[in-house]
Amino acid sequence: MPPLLSRALALRPAPRCLRVLLADFWSTAAVPDPARATGPQPLPPPVSRYLQLAAGRAAAAPMAVRLSHRAALDRSLDKDAWWSLHSRQWMAARAPGFVWAAHVHGALGLSIDVVDAYVQGRGELGAWLWGLVPVGSARGSEAIARGELMRWLAEAVHVPWALAACPGLRWNAVDADHADAELAAAGVSVTLRFAFGADGLVRSVEGNRPRREGRGFVDTPWIGHWSDWQRRGDVLVPTTGEVAWTIGGRNRPYWRGTLMAWEELHEPPPFPCG
> Residue 2 falls within a domain, yes or no?
no
CA distance 271 to 255: 28
**Residue 55, in any domain of the structure:** yes
Q: 274 lies in a domain? A: no
Residue 140 lies in a domain: yes
On whether residue 89 sits in a domain, the answer given is yes
Residue 96 scores a pLDDT above 60: yes
Q: How confident is the model at residue 39 (pLDDT cuts 50, 70, 90)?
A: low
For 228-247, the pLDDT digits (tens) are 999 999 999 999 999 999 99
Q: Out of 66-80, 154-168, 251-265, which region has the weakest mean confidence (pLDDT)?
A: 66-80
Q: Which pLDDT value is given to residue 270?
A: 76
Provide the β-strand partners of residue 206. Answer: 193, 223
Q: Based on the structure, what is the number of domains in the chain?
A: 1
| Range scoring the smallest mean pLDDT among 8-17, 80-89, 124-133 | 8-17
Residues 187-204 have pLDDT tens digits of: 999 999 999 999 999 999
For residue 215, give the amino acid letter. R
Rounded mean pLDDT, 207-214: 92
Give residue-wise pLDDT tens across range 141-171: 999 999 999 999 999 999 999 999 899 999 9
User: In CATH, what number is assigned to the domain containing residue 128?
Assistant: 2.50.20
The answer to whether residue 4 scores a pLDDT higher than 50 is: no
Q: Do residues 179 and 46 lie in contact, with contact meaning Cβ atoms separated by under 8 Å?
A: yes
Whether residue 40 is contained in a domain is answered as yes
CB 92 within 8 Å of CB 25? yes
Residue 1 in domain: no
Task: Classify residue 15: in a domain, yes or no.
Answer: yes
Q: Which of 231, 190, 202, 223 is CA-nearest to residue 55? A: 231
Report the share of the chain in percent with pLDDT over 90.
Answer: 71
Torsion angles phi and psi, residue 233, rounded to 5: 60, -125
Q: Say if residue 38's pLDDT is above 90.
A: no
**pTM, two decimal places:** 0.92
pLDDT of residue 6 exceeding 50, the answer is no
The secondary structure element, H or E, covering residue 173 is strand 169-175
Q: C-alpha 2: how far from its chain's center?
A: 34
59 versus 122: the higher-pLDDT residue is 122
Domain range for 156: 11-262
